[in-house]
Amino acid sequence: MARSPTFAELRRHAIARSLFKPVTLPAAVRRLGFVQADPMRAPARAQDLILYQRVRDYRAGDLERRYERLGLEEDAFVNYGFVPRDMLALLHPRTPRRPWDADTQSRARDVLAFVQERGVVHPREVGEAFVHHGRVAGYWGGELNASTRLLDDMHHHGWLRVRRRESGTRFYEAMAHAAQDDSPAARLARAQALVDIIVALYAPIPSPSLGYLVTLLRYGANHLAAEARAVVKVARERYGHAVVDGVTWFWPADENPSSRRHQPDEGVRLLAPFDPVVWDRRRFEMLWGWAYRFEAYVPAPRRTMGHYALPVLWGERMVGWANLRLERGQLRHQLGFADGRAVVDPNFKRGVDEELARLQGFLAGYRESSQGAASA
């Protein structure tokens, strides 16, 4: 019987398996299985920061620019993001997260007919055509057109898909998902496939985190919630696992966290708050011994790390965090350190400089998009 991995080996495995050698954009999304999206640019959107670490010569905005040609979809999984198109068969048809009343059903049918007639629509077109729908509370305060909220719900229900984005705005077209085999065996198989994606994305994953992530499937596949819980109950039979310091950890069955092949490079990486390496805050603290916090929605006086702090990975050490901003096209940074003391090693300083230089080129993608839009 193989020995249990050490925490050091779990750390190395977590880094090396997720921060794989850069590949093409479609290959990276397929290998990850899911790329979480976030609209905030500080200094780049989360999906771009995630892919920048895994795609050769990636520029900010490449996912949006190339989306229509990549065989991807925007959809809900454990959060909202981008998935390979064939994954939709695991997620749809889904039970609505907010059941519609008769009036909403009628409005949705009217909007669907409008979208089918137009082919592809900007939310503004729908808002102007259905201004009589009124306004509703926005997701983060304020108000928005009721038709905008309805488009989002219709997308989630599977009536629409995102055809493309322009400057972050979603353009929609009509969508119909094929009926699925609803037998118990087929439902269980779909749930197993979804839990497999979770394990592959966030491994090695402690048991409490696996349980929590499976509850998040209520967002993207709540119709398979019972089956997903059943998969977790037999996780020891399906996945590689070991007990380390009293906690059971899971990973794909064909992997070995103790392998000497898992050796992170010695460079510095600034990771997105939603990067798979750092997404699970419980795992982060267990592996690196300090609590990382995402404070974008915390009032400024109460922040301890900053508005959009990016964890700083140096080799296999998570030494602290960085806040970045663009000033007149130049990237500025401020570092914080987990133990309260700055790292003075010249190799770290060189690694930070190299990562910032790479990020500067990566961010040029946003400037190119803006210039292209202006010239158009």
**Is residue 196 within 8 Å of 212, Cβ to Cβ?**
no
Q: Which amino acid is at 237?
A: E
Domain parsing of the chain, residue ranges: 102-174
Of 364, 244, 266, which Cα lies nearest the Cα of 319? 266
Average pLDDT score over the chain: 92
pLDDT value at residue 139: 60
Whether 329 shows a pLDDT value over 90: the answer reads: no
pLDDT value at residue 367: 66
Buried b (16+ CB within 10 A) or exposed e, 252-289: eeebebbeeebebeebbbbbbbbbbbbbbeebbebbbe
Which of 164-168, 224-228, 353-357 comes out lowest in average pLDDT?
Answer: 164-168
pLDDT value at residue 138: 58
pLDDT value at residue 327: 85
pLDDT value at residue 370: 47
pLDDT band (50, 70, 90) for residue 142: low
pLDDT value at residue 374: 35
pLDDT value at residue 376: 30
* Mean pLDDT, residues 34-48 taken together: 94
pLDDT value at residue 1: 46
* Mean pLDDT, residues 185-208 taken together: 98
pLDDT value at residue 260: 76
pLDDT tens for each residue of 257-284? 998 776 778 899 999 999 999 999 999 9
The C-alpha atoms of residue 91 and residue 176 are separated, in whole angstroms, by: 13
Buried b (16+ CB within 10 A) or exposed e, 22-53: eeebeebbbebbbbbbbeebbbbbbbbbbbbb
pLDDT band (50, 70, 90) for residue 218: very high
Residue percentage of the chain with pLDDT more than 90: 82
- CATH fit for domain 102-174, picks 3.10.560.10, 1.10.510.10, 3.40.47.10, 1.10.10.10: 1.10.10.10
